[in-house]
Amino acid sequence: MLGTAAVLLLLRAPVIEAPFTIADSAIVIDVTVNDKPVSVMFDTGFAGEFVLSSHLKLGKATGKITLQDFVGAFDASTVDVNSLSVAGNVVDLDEGQIVQQPLQSLSLSYGTHCDGIMGVGVFMKYVVEINFEDKILRLHPKSHDITQNSADKEKTFLRRMLPIGHNTIEMRVKAPTGKRLNLALDTGNAFYATTHTEVLVRTGLWKEGKKPKFMGQSWVASGPVSSWNIALEDMEIFGVPTKKTVWNIIDRPSSSASHDGTVGFGFLKNFNITFDFTRRYVWMERFTDTVDYEAPGHIGLAAAYDPKKERVRVFNVVPEGPADKAGIKYGDDILAIGKTDIKVVGFRNLNEMMQGPPGSVVKLSLSRGGKLMRKELTRTQLVN
């Protein structure tokens, strides 16, 4: 049992505050790990501590680990976390692992310097507040009890985590059919929310065997996967009612029987969020006018930099989308978008350049077999 002095010390424990950058649909924060300053994307969907680029010299490899994402698993080497500080404050961490692997340039993806990913495993001894409004991460002592907060269920919400795993933030989402989904609170997912075709069928939101008209691709940790967008009405996400939203659907079965997907950055950015793993509760304060979301217009292609060819190459064209109707094909090289020459550009940044208000125009300069092509495409909503 703690003595009086220990209790008073605990109650007076300081709050650690660290500013963060809201990059391209991501939180990027500066930390120091194993005496090495790094910039990391804070991913609440990752239950571990760190995934950092193998070019960083952080210590001797101590083992291997298997990581799992939406659709698959992959192995990587690990290094022990010997020290960690945030905003100059030492973080209380018993042990931890750094997964080191060759990473695609996250800096290009997010439009700001980024060395890798930091998961929720680093903050298990704290009550963690992600203040999107002020762009500040706060680490409160365990005495900070959010369960005493009173929720009005309009602007403020208090939700209990599901008993799935020790360091995962899984909560209920309710479909208008009355069926429920188990979705993770995931700042590492750039979309509004992501689930799987099989989950839509199970919950009565999609007919089994029905094919979506517009099929594209998304990028997850294990690589590109077929995906599509769907407009969903009257969903209740973590207790928050929504009228009309657009979800990204992975066209493959879930990698876990108890996990239906994640609620991503597109939804979460509307809230200041505090989560407590000890008491298993999440507090959310909405500061925006609405949480509804409609998809932007898109030209219906995906492209990525090919280091062997040193070109940005088209690797997916959405059937019946603007790019498909304009005759753009898999393997075409993109030389410029509008007046911007394309050289080494991340997947996310490229996707941002492809999308915009429905009805707006994007001009592409492409090459096929050395022949220059110029295309003018009108963005449209590729939503099923």
**Ranges for all domains in the chain classified under CATH 2.30.42.10:** 301-378
> What is the pLDDT averaged over residues 339-357?
74
The CA R_g of the chain, rounded to the nearest whole Å, is 22
Tell me which of 268 and 106 has the higher pLDDT.
268
Q: What is the share, in percent, of the chain residues with pLDDT greater than 90?
A: 64
Question: What local confidence, expressed as pLDDT, does residue 9 receive?
Answer: 45
Four-way CATH pick for 146-286: 3.60.10.10, 2.40.70.10, 3.40.50.1110, 3.40.50.10090:
2.40.70.10
40: pLDDT strictly greater than 60: yes
Structure tokens at 220: 């997850």
> What is the pLDDT averaged over residues 330-352?
78
6: pLDDT strictly greater than 50: no
- pTM of the predicted model, to two decimals? 0.85
**Ranges for all domains in the chain classified under CATH 2.40.70.10:** 13-140, 146-286
Residues in the chain: 384
Query: Exposed, middle or buried, 178 (CB in 10 Å: 0-12/13-18/19+)?
Result: exposed
Lowest mean pLDDT among 151-155, 198-202, 212-216, 279-283: 212-216
| DSSP code for 165 | -
301-378: CATH class: mainly beta
Could you report the per-residue pLDDT of 170-191, keeping only the tens digit for each?
999 999 999 999 999 999 998 9
CA distance 325 to 209: 26
> What is the pLDDT averaged over residues 115-127?
95
Query: What fold, for 13-140?
Result: Cathepsin D, subunit A; domain 1 (2.40.70)
CB neighbour list of residue 8: distance below 8 Å, 6 or more residues apart: none
> What is the pLDDT averaged over residues 255-268?
87
Which spans in the chain are helix H?
Answer: 4-11, 106-110, 197-202, 265-268, 322-325, 347-354
304: pLDDT strictly greater than 50: yes
Of the pLDDT bands very low, low, confident and very high (cuts 50, 70, 90), residue 8 is very low
In DSSP terms, 64 is beta-bridged to 77
Of the pLDDT bands very low, low, confident and very high (cuts 50, 70, 90), residue 220 is low
3-state secondary structure of 214: coil
Q: Average pLDDT over the chain, rounded to whole?
A: 88
Nearest to 356, CA basis, from 337, 339, 372, 342: 337
Of the pLDDT bands very low, low, confident and very high (cuts 50, 70, 90), residue 344 is low
